[in-house]
A and B are shown apart, each in its own frame.
Chain A
Amino acid sequence: GAGVSQSPRYKVTKRGQDVALRCDPISGHVSLYWYRQALGQGPEFLTYFNYEAQQDKSGLPNDRFSAERPEGSISTLTIQRTEQRDSAMYRCASSLAGMNEQYFGPGTRLTVT
């Protein structure tokens, strides 16, 4: 596609439910990143992949958060047993490879009630 796409754009879920957020990177981009952005702040790194390999997951807040990219293209960020503090904008970015310009998708606004 022309840019990074994410779905759903908005997700409202009840506390305790699991959610899966999807990212489709720019075609041909090797590296894919997940960030989380709280209101009024800049995005914060969660995890990233080169091809299908998860290179760094140091930013994932706890073991309720996980991510995968099984075929080296589309990625899914999963949050289990959601809590209200998980409410935020979740952004995905991709780049041709590491140390290259990153392009961001429109984000998924997650609200946990």
Chain B
Amino acid sequence: GIQVEQSPPDLILQEGANSTLRCNFSDSVNNLQWFHQNPWGQLINLFYIPSGTKQNGRLSATTVATERYSLLYISSSQTTDSGVYFCAVERMNAGNMLTFGGGTRLMVKP
């Protein structure tokens, strides 16, 4: 199956700092999504981004499908950004299930 690797696995930031999270995947994909799992366990959709660049407030994401990676940028981080960020991909021609990476655990300190 497809391999999805996220880095870094853990990240501690001071409030106001910027960060970049990376997702590498091993095969062609139809779909790529970024999620935030908050401390209450909810999985919140951040981006649906199989290719290109999108922005939503302080967050933006870029997927370079030909090079099999995606980046999630968090600017001016806030304590409410804490949690686990997951990248998930849907492998091309392999059904519609998502394969998740191991996540990046982010803690933002006040």
Interface residues of A (CB under 8 A from B): 31, 33, 35, 41-45, 48, 55-56, 58-59, 89, 91, 93, 95, 98-104, 106-107, 109
Contact, CB under 8 Å: B96 / A44: no
Q: Which of B14-22, B37-45, B64-72, B75-83 contacts A (4 or more CB under 8 A)?
A: B37-45
Contact, CB under 8 Å: B45 / A101: yes
Known: A56-B96, A101-B33, A106-B42. 6 other contacts (CB 8 A): A42-B86, A45-B97, A56-B97, A98-B95, A101-B48, A106-B41
Docked complex Cα distance between A89 and B40 (Å): 12
Docked complex Cα distance between A40 and B95 (Å): 26
Q: Which residues of B contact A43 (CB under 8 A)?
A: 43, 86, 88, 98, 100
SS of A interface (majority): strand
Docked complex Cα distance between A3 and B86 (Å): 20
Contact, CB under 8 Å: B99 / A45: yes
Which of B41, B96, B100 gathers the greatest number of chain A CB atoms within 10 Å?
Answer: B96
Docked complex Cα distance between A44 and B31 (Å): 16
Q: Which residues of B contact A48 (CB under 8 A)?
A: 95-97
Q: Which residues of B contact A101 (CB under 8 A)?
A: 31, 33, 45, 48
Which residue of chain A lies nearest to B95 when distances are taken between CB atoms in the complex? A56
Given contacts A42-B86, A101-B33, contact A89 B41 (CB under 8 A): yes
Given contacts A106-B41, A106-B42, contact A98 B101 (CB under 8 A): no
